[in-house]
């Protein structure tokens, strides 16, 4: 293993650990915690509850995408045979295809996240009733 590959692998592991630490606080935020935080602001913090609930959904999707990206990076490093396997012969075609695949998956996540944000908003608004 080259020094560069070793550092790249180390950076991938650190990145994977960072997504866990970065996301753990928001991912632990429960509906009960949102309710308690919202009700502690001037008797009713409905907008605070809505924002926290929506932020939690955003963090869940962001953490999942970041986790998948680090897993993909780690996979290429842990299985060196993949580095010599030609998937697509033309470089720019491969770049375009990878971009389209990433954009499609991000679009699907964005649509699903929008639905979950609306549900989270309704649930948070119900905390103050």
Task: Provide the whole-model pTM.
Answer: 0.67
CB atoms within 10 A of CB 102: 12
Summarize pLDDT for 83-129 with one digit per residue, the tens. Answer: 777 878 888 888 888 899 888 988 898 899 899 989 988 888 887 66
Query: Long-range CB contacts (< 8 A, 24+ apart) of 37-40?
Result: 38/124, 38/127, 38/128, 39/127, 39/128
- Round to whole Å and give the CA distance between 54 and 26: 11
pLDDT in the model for residue 118 = 92
Helices (H), 3-90: 3-27, 31-39, 46-78, 81-84
Summarize pLDDT for 21-78 with one digit per residue, the tens. Answer: 777 767 777 777 777 776 666 555 677 778 788 888 888 888 888 888 888 888 888 8
């Amino acid at each position: 293993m080259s020094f560069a590959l070793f550092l790249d692998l180390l950076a991938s592991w650190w990145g994977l650990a960072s997504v866990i630490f970065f996301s753990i606080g928001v991912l632990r935020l429960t509906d009960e915690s949102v309710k308690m935080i919202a009700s502690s602001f001037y008797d009713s913090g409905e907008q605070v509850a809505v924002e926290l609930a929506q932020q939690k959904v955003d963090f869940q999707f962001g953490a999942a995408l970041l986790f998948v990206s680090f897993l993909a990076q780690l996979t290429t490093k842990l299985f060196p045979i993949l580095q010599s396997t030609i998937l697509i012969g033309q470089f720019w075609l491969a770049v375009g295809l990878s971009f389209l695949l990433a954009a499609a998956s991000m679009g699907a996540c964005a649509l699903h996240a929008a639905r979950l944000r609306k549900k989270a908003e309704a649930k948070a608004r119900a905390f103050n009733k």
